[in-house]
Structure 1
């Protein structure tokens, strides 16, 4: 996806430069852009980078999910959807127990 945006941006720049330099120069710029885009070495390198980025994203997502699994955030529905952590289970309602906050009993 990023490669597509870079290519489209390049085409836009080529259009502006080409329109200022005349139609012939514009055609030269477009042809050069197509040669670069269609270069098998460039396409292969882009495929390798994309595969590595996918692996890194998966590894990072898994590592982050493991790190937050035992935290309060890890027990939320958001974390469950993003990282596949344990399902969200709300804490049971208070059964008449007094809550203590800062050492003070609140009823």
Structure 2
């Protein structure tokens, strides 16, 4: 499924960038993608995905804090608590995951055309 999604995303991007129809076709595709993104069922699915990501983040944070890595962070930091260090570590990985899912989600909706 992921391979198909990547292929369709590349196909859509190639079409938009190489289209002889130019700006009009690009705006049409963009408007259709925006309609799909604003559809209530898509927004509901995005909300569910965000809630699940937050849940996984919290569970991962708890696991790291209770693991040996969490103990090392707690004893290895000076001036900050282990919770702050763990939050910073997880926040940076969460930011990467969020930006990746945002890119995938945005281009994924435009591939339905």
1:14-93 alignment, distance < 5 Å: 16-17=17-18, 20-68=20-68, 71-77=71-77, 80=82, 81-83=84-86
Over 3 Å counting, the alpha-carbon distance change for 1:69 and 1:34 in structure 2 is: closer
- Whether the aligned pair in 2 keeps the contact of 1:61 and 1:83 (CA below 8 Å) is yes
In terms of fraction of residues, the more strand-rich structure is 1
Over 3 Å counting, the alpha-carbon distance change for 1:17 and 1:34 in structure 2 is: farther
Moved over 6 A (4+): none
Q: Any stretches of 5+ residues in structure 2 without a counterpart?
A: 1-8, 88-113
Deviations 1:29-56 (A, max 9, x none): 1221111111110111001101110111
Q: Which has the higher contact order (CA 8 A, sep 6+)?
A: 2
Aligned length: 73
In terms of fraction of residues, the more helix-rich structure is 2
